[in-house]
Structure 1
Amino acid sequence: MHTIGKILKTIREERGLQLRQVAIESNIDLTLLSRVENGKRMPSESLLIKLAETYGLDSNLLVLQLVSDKILEISEQYPDHTIEALKVAQEKARLGERYISFFMNSFISRPIGLESRRYIGNKTKLTDWIMETIRRECPEAHSFCDIFAGTGAVAGKAIPYYDQVIFNDLLCANRVIYQGFFEKGEWNRDKLCTILDEYNHTDYNSLEDNYFSINFGGKYFDYGVSKLIGYVRQNI
């Protein structure tokens, strides 16, 4: 919803000015002014400064109206995230460069779910049904083996129900994940934050082709993103 045009028109009419007069006094094209007032064109900041001078107003008042219109325009594209996004923007404005550390501390303090990992054809959404079926058909079983565990979501779901759960997979990267989530031990939060920060700031344009980009780039994933996924996977 754009209100800046209507606001400018109301200000002009309250001052008893014709649009042509404003165009001459502010040295702004008449057609452009008309399109702005009719909501067909968003004004620039420099245009608002000129109009503020013409109307004898504080230019900041008009610029704030412009910014709020732009925020509303974005919110219409993401209606489900508007309120939370505004809160995040407020935090960024308040903390500045310190926001990154604030975000990482709040993010990493929450448990990272095993289901955060996704493979094509993963069974995360089917785990409840899978376990219900297995337990109904094999009620006396005491051990569970996931032959190709993949993300580990199914085997992870089985842990509360069986005396022994075996994770199996050919990929070293998956074995590392199983150890990280299911073996007992300590973990270094600062080290993990550093690794995540490095991955998040890696430019895929600087990376060479890898297994993932060659086989999945431009198919299931954007080519550049696939290079980054492959790099992170190999690095782990």
Structure 2
Amino acid sequence: MKAMSRHRLKSQEGSRKEALNDGGLVDANRARLAADRIFEQSLGLLTRSGGLSILPGSWTEGWRVSDQGKLALSSYGLPPARRDGLMGVAADFQESGELESGADGVRFYALGRYGSAKLVAVEDDGCILAVPERSEVHPGLKSRCPLGIPAISVNASIDLFVECAWRWYWIVPLLADEQKRVGEAEISAWRKGGIDGIPDPYVEYQELCGYILKKYQVIDSTIQGDSDFWSDVIVDLW
């Protein structure tokens, strides 16, 4: 009897996995291996693929940032704007050596954009911030945010930002494919009688996002796990 019970449990579990696999279950191992290959590639190889890199003008030589940051920009540049509908860091270098200023008085150089946010390098410090296009807040929140919506931290330095931006350029299509696969798995499960008792396909996708976020934290230890630019970008892709 016990042997038969165990057999039934295994059969039920197998049916659940089959239901998800038929619908395109996120293949966590395959996706992680693909992500690992992207993180193992040299930055030079990633930026040379397809001649995609957009380099800044010579005026960056006079920017008041670290030589290491200038070298990263002149060597690798930043990715172009995407044409596949996915969100990515896009080069949008300011065309002068003059500093710009934010609402809080911080002075910076514009490097690129992510959606409507401007990505900038802070003078001297060289840390990267995402500055919102509009900083106004609701009058009721003015006392809490007197200077408006604040800029958020992206990376500790220009060179780390360049690396993160390029790796994201190649990572985001992988995540988008797995996200689509998860949706197909859920639809297939519903068509076959519902998802009760079937492992949630979104759990493995969320674990994949967490895995990639940890890879980013290895690149830049200042990246937080729950409340900064890259954690929002990676975990909240949808």
With the shorter chain as reference, the TM-score category is under 0.3
Greater relative contact order (CA < 8 Å, ≥ 6 in sequence): 2
Greater fraction strand: 2
Bigger radius of gyration: 1
> What's the TM-score once normalised by structure 1's chain length?
0.24
Greater fraction helix: 1
> What's the TM-score once normalised by structure 2's chain length?
0.24
